[in-house]
Amino acid sequence: MYKVIKIRVELRLKAAVIGTGSWGKHHLRVLDELNCLDSFVEKNPELRSFFEKKYSIKGFSSLDDLLEDRDVDICNICTPTTTHFDLAKTTLSHGISTLVEKPLTYSSSQGEELVNLAKDNNTSLTVGFVERFNPIIVNIKEQLQKQTFGDPLLIEFQRENRWAGVTKDIGVILDSSVHDIDGARWLFNEEPNVVFARTGNVLNPKAQGFVGTDYEDFATIILGFKNQKTAIIIANWVTPYKVRRISVTCTGGNLSGDYMSQEIRHDDGKSVTIPTRKYEEPLMNELKSFIESVKSKKSPLITGVDGLNTIKIAEAAINSAKRGAPIYLDL
């Protein structure tokens, strides 16, 4: 009589990182820790040589060169925003599951084309809204789903720090506020129907001095949802220290948290509870989630449509600031 032994073979996906700058280098590190890192693209020969030696993998000077030489399952695009469209168009056309760092594209028309291309090629497309994977946001989402503190009424976001001189092709809305636009959509579980914004330029050397340029460095955005629910998003590159906070006012209490310390507070009006939890790296959670979705052939937590609608809302905010009037949406 023979004994049947079942052996489980774990599918190892091969991932490539396009761009190894200030954020791309962290994608390299995390994918290496997840045993998925296969190759990368970096135009700078010194950086390319450095990461080849560090991770014992092959680097390429262009995406075309990589695709000619390697057969990869996933590409993480971590280059400047204005390059996202052409790179993602290439990877999706090759049937490669693609993560594009936020924002998805420079314009909603480009985003629309990528979403359609992913659908036509039956290929997974996600956007790097890493804050969705921060434990405080996950906890707040869980509490809202359970209605622990009733219905959410107002969500306030603060995202502030001095401009580091890295982002030069977009302003603070497309670079930073998109995290919180996406967060508001996700926590309210619906799309806003009206946007009003005020923006300005103080530090950014590319700014031409009038409100609402593509290079605004401070912005306040108000998103209106059904039943008077509201999100207020404050972002700037002016504050000399880093701030990353969220507060959710509900009918029966308040939930608030700090993205950096990952401390969250539950306040029901009678007492305040600060749950203790182990620190988690949001990027690790994000890439694990995307890899698992590709393995299981399921939709990623953040879809291309999420990225597209967030751009549409960001564009409406920029236009609202230019006009000095609210912009109504139908998403």
State both tokens at 330: 């139908």
Cα-based torsion angle of the residue sequence 189, 192, 197, 202 in order, rounded to the nearest 10 degrees: 40
Whether 260 contacts 242, CB under 8 Å: yes
d(CA 144, CA 148): 7
Query: What does the pLDDT look like over 262-307, one tens digit per residue?
Result: 999 999 999 999 988 889 999 999 999 999 999 999 999 999 999 9
Whether 197 contacts 220, CB under 8 Å: yes
pLDDT values of the chain reduced to their tens digit, one per residue, 331 residues: 555 554 444 578 999 999 999 999 999 999 999 999 999 999 999 999 999 999 999 999 999 999 999 999 999 999 999 999 999 999 999 999 999 999 999 999 999 999 999 999 999 999 999 999 999 999 999 999 999 999 999 999 999 998 776 667 889 999 999 999 999 999 999 999 999 999 998 875 554 444 434 478 899 999 999 999 999 999 999 899 999 999 999 999 999 999 999 999 999 999 999 988 889 999 999 999 999 999 999 999 999 999 999 999 999 999 999 999 999 999 9
Q: What is the pLDDT of residue 213?
A: 41
Whether 178 contacts 131, CB under 8 Å: no
Q: Which domains are present in the chain?
A: 15-129 (3.40.50.720), 131-280+304-328 (3.30.360.10)
Q: What is the pLDDT of residue 55?
A: 98
Whether 163 contacts 240, CB under 8 Å: no
Q: What is the pLDDT of residue 279?
A: 94
Coil/strand/helix, residue 147: coil
| Sheet containing 37-41: order of strands | 58-60, 37-41, 15-18, 74-77, 97-101, 125-128
Whole-structure pTM value: 0.93
Q: What is the pLDDT of residue 163?
A: 77
